[in-house]
């Protein structure tokens, strides 16, 4: 009888243990590269439809005000991993000399220690191999769209025939299906190269926009008046390279030469036919800039079609296998991007198009369909959110907060942040965007550029949503500026950016420029 009683107790413990185990959600983060909010229909894109990304929003939550701390590839991934600003995780920029310690604490470390199977597949863009992943297979550096090479866990390199977005998805599904330890909950990051420069579409999407003219942003011919750093940059669409970027006379560029015969034929059939219609001798400089814009938009949007389709494949797999209910799916990109605003491509600046990140999440067990969050989220929040969702304590040295309370109707936090801190470093390569730091509140943006000359900018987002007026010398804003400088300093102290604090204190002693 006594034995039976113990057996009963033991079975109760087992039931409660397994119940606890099955409760822990799986976590998939689909993290693309340079995907602008203006190219996602859930964010109101006028350019393209993204039904699969929209589906994540419709069945979950869309965060409409998510910002990155440093608008560039490697640094954003380091923030995703560590939940810390780049002055603490070491990934200041994309330079090949920047090699951070990938053994520092990161969210996969804590997940792994707490019984998760962890994996990262695709674009990684940190110059040391991943750690804390049960499985990883990553693109070297920026990676290739066509027939990409991968670095494997034994440090060998292999080349896979095909198109990167498809292959990365194949690899991810294969790990989900056959690679992982199915006794554990899992965490998987699917890192896409798309839609990064040089925007090489999959052959099947080349004709998707035949006959379409993309709307030109009203700031396309911005004169950069009163904005010194904007005058100094080199990231204008009018200067895109004909061969590498625009696919005109591109038969000798490296990525075209890696294509196989079938890929090359589809590529040439499309571009050579279209390029034959171009005669620049009869065009003005403005007309050429607009032609370049249309080609740029065509290629960028065609990359988005493949990205969205492949996200659909992952969602379908989760449905088919019954994993959807207990799997958190996050879609985000490392930062936003310019699609002709201010005449630009690329990112880096603290202006809205590149400061913003798409961030959409589905978690049927917690998030009601069609939830919208307007609170200010920063990418330091991603790692704490993932740990919180997994029931793992958030380490004190992570600088962000879990966003889960923002999506639960019961306990919405009242003291959520009302301002965010930004710091960009990489200069002069590439694109000559001066290093800068700044603060963004709900209405204002105060930016300080340093390095090659210094300058302040104040943007009033309410009166100037296109960010073309620098109000720093407008006496009406004197009190606002003083308040923002004080708040900027508080944020620097809070986030321990001592280097920037020194620069700010020096700048505050000198007359305004």
Binding segment (CB under 5 A) for Ca ion, from list 29-37, 44-52, 118-126, 420-428: 29-37
Residue (236 or 334) nearer to Ca ion, CB: 334
Under rule CB under 5 A, how many of the chain's residues touch Ca ion? Answer: 4
Residue (33 or 426) nearer to Ca ion, CB: 33
Residue (109 or 192) nearer to Ca ion, CB: 192
| Residue 350 CB, nearest approach to Ca ion (Å) | 15
202 contacts Ca ion (rule: CB under 5 A) = no
| Residue 460 CB, nearest approach to Ca ion (Å) | 28
| Residue 400 CB, nearest approach to Ca ion (Å) | 19
Residue (142 or 166) nearer to Ca ion, CB: 142
Residue (334 or 353) nearer to Ca ion, CB: 334
Radius of gyration of the chain (CA): 24
State the pairing for strand pair 26-32/186-191. Answer: parallel
Check: CB of residue 218 under 8 Å from CB of residue 246.
Answer: no
CA distance 156 to 165: 21
| Residue 73 CB, nearest approach to Ca ion (Å) | 4
Check: CB of residue 504 under 8 Å from CB of residue 492.
Answer: yes
| Residue 320 CB, nearest approach to Ca ion (Å) | 31
Q: Which tokens hold the place of 40?
A: 């996602």
Check: CB of residue 318 under 8 Å from CB of residue 362.
Answer: no
Question: What does the DSSP 8-state code read for residue 512?
Answer: P
Window 131 to 190, contacts with Ca ion (CB under 5 A): none
Own/partner long-range contacts of 205-209 (Cβ < 8 Å, ≥24 apart)? 205/302, 205/303, 205/305, 205/306, 206/266, 206/267, 206/270, 206/302, 207/270, 208/301, 208/302, 208/305, 209/298, 209/301, 209/302
Check: CB of residue 37 under 8 Å from CB of residue 43.
Answer: yes
68 contacts Ca ion (rule: CB under 5 A) = no
Binding segment (CB under 5 A) for Ca ion, from list 71-79, 82-90, 279-287, 419-427: 71-79
471 contacts Ca ion (rule: CB under 5 A) = no
- Mask for 307-336, x = binds Ca ion (CB under 5 A): ---------------------------x--
| Residue 33 CB, nearest approach to Ca ion (Å) | 4
73 contacts Ca ion (rule: CB under 5 A) = yes
| Residue 419 CB, nearest approach to Ca ion (Å) | 24
Distance of CA 264 to the CA centre of its chain: 30
33 contacts Ca ion (rule: CB under 5 A) = yes
Binding segment (CB under 5 A) for Ca ion, from list 27-35, 100-108, 315-323, 438-446: 27-35
Binding segment (CB under 5 A) for Ca ion, from list 68-76, 142-150, 229-237, 255-263: 68-76
Q: Report which residue's Cβ sits closest to Ca ion.
A: 73
Residue (52 or 379) nearer to Ca ion, CB: 379
| Residue 355 CB, nearest approach to Ca ion (Å) | 13
Residue (130 or 191) nearer to Ca ion, CB: 191
Check: CB of residue 386 under 8 Å from CB of residue 111.
Answer: yes
Give residue for tokens 């992952």.
314
DSSP labels for 215-269? Answer: PPPTTTT---TT-HHHHH---BGGG--TTTTT-SS-TTSHHHHTS-HHHHHHHHH
Q: Which tokens hold the place of 283?
A: 């065009």
Binding segment (CB under 5 A) for Ca ion, from list 28-36, 124-132, 291-299, 323-331: 28-36
Window 337 to 366, contacts with Ca ion (CB under 5 A): none
In the beta sheet, which residues pair with residue 151? Answer: 138, 157
Residue (125 or 440) nearer to Ca ion, CB: 125
DSSP labels for 67-106? Answer: E-SS-SHHHHHHHHHHSS-HHHHS--S--TT----TTS--
CA distance 132 to 303: 31
Residue (36 or 387) nearer to Ca ion, CB: 36
Binding segment (CB under 5 A) for Ca ion, from list 69-77, 117-125, 396-404, 409-417: 69-77
Residue (94 or 119) nearer to Ca ion, CB: 94
- Mask for 247-276, x = binds Ca ion (CB under 5 A): ------------------------------
| Residue 335 CB, nearest approach to Ca ion (Å) | 6
Q: Which tokens hold the place of 376?
A: 């200010």
| Residue 333 CB, nearest approach to Ca ion (Å) | 7
| Residue 231 CB, nearest approach to Ca ion (Å) | 24
Contact with Ca ion (CB under 5 A) among 28, 34, 55, 167: 34
Q: Which residues contact 369 (CB under 8 A, 6 or more apart)?
A: 58, 59, 60
CA distance 244 to 255: 9
Whether residue 129 has a cis bond before it, omega within 30° of 0: no
Q: Which tokens hold the place of 459?
A: 């943007």
| Residue 217 CB, nearest approach to Ca ion (Å) | 20
Residues near Ca ion, by CB under 5 A: 33-34, 73, 334
């Amino acid at each position: 009888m006594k034995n039976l009683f113990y057996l009963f107790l033991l079975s109760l413990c087992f039931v409660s243990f397994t119940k606890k185990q099955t409760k822990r959600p799986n976590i998939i983060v689909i993290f693309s590269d340079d995907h602008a909010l203006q190219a996602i229909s859930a964010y109101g894109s006028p350019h393209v439809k993204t039904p699969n990304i929209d589906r994540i929003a419709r069945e979950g939550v869309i965060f409409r005000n998510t910002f990155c701390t440093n608008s560039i590839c490697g640094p954003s991934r380091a923030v995703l991993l560590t939940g810390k600003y780049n002055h603490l995780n070491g990934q200041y920029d994309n330079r090949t000399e920047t090699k951070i310690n990938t053994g520092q604490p990161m969210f996969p470390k804590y997940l792994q220690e707490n019984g998760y199977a962890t994996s990262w597949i695709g674009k990684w863009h940190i110059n040391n191999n991943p750690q804390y992943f049960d499985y990883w297979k990553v693109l070297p550096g920026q990676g290739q769209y066509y027939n990409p090479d991968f670095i494997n866990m034994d440090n060998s390199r292999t080349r896979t025939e095909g198109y990167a977005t498809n292959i990365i998805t194949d690899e991810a599904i294969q790990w989900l299906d056959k690679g992982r330890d199915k006794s554990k909950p899992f965490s998987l990051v699917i890192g896409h190269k798309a839609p990064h420069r040089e925007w090489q579409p999959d052959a099947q999407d080349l004709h998707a926009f035949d006959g379409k003219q993309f709307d030109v942003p009203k700031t396309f011919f911005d004169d950069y008046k009163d904005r010194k750093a904007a005058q100094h940059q080199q990231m204008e669409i009018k200067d895109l390279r004909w061969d590498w970027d625009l696919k005109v006379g591109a038969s000798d560029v490296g990525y075209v030469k890696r294509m196989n015969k079938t890929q090359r034929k589809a590529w040439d059939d499309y571009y050579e036919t279209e390029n034959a219609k171009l005669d620049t001798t009869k065009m003005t400089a403005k007309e050429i800039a607009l032609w370049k814009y249309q080609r740029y938009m065509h290629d960028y949007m065609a990359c988005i079609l493949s990205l969205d389709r492949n996200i659909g494949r992952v969602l379908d797999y989760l449905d088919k296998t019954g994993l959807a209910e207990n799997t958190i799916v996050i879609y985000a990109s490392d930062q936003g991007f310019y699609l002709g605003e201010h005449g630009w491509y690329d990112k880096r600046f603290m202006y809205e198009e590149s400061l913003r990140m798409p961030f959409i999440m589905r978690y049927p067990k917690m998030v009601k369909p069609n939830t919208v969050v307007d609170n200010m989220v920063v990418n330091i929040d991603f790692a704490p959110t993932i740990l919180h969702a997994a029931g793992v304590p958030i380490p004190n040295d992570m600088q962000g907060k879990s966003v889960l309370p923002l999506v639960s109707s019961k306990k919405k936090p009242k003291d959520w942040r009302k301002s965010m801190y930004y710091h960009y470093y990489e200069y002069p390569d590439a694109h000559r965007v001066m290093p800068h730091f700044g603060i963004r509140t709900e209405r204002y943006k105060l930016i300080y550029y340093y390095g090659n000359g210094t300058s302040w900018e104040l943007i009033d987002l309410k009166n100037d949503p296109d960010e073309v007026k620098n109000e720093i010398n407008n006496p009406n804003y004197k009190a606002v500026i003083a308040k923002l400088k004080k708040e900027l300093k508080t944020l620097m102290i809070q986030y321990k950016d001592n280097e920037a604090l020194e620069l700010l204190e020096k700048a505050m002693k000198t007359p305004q420029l």
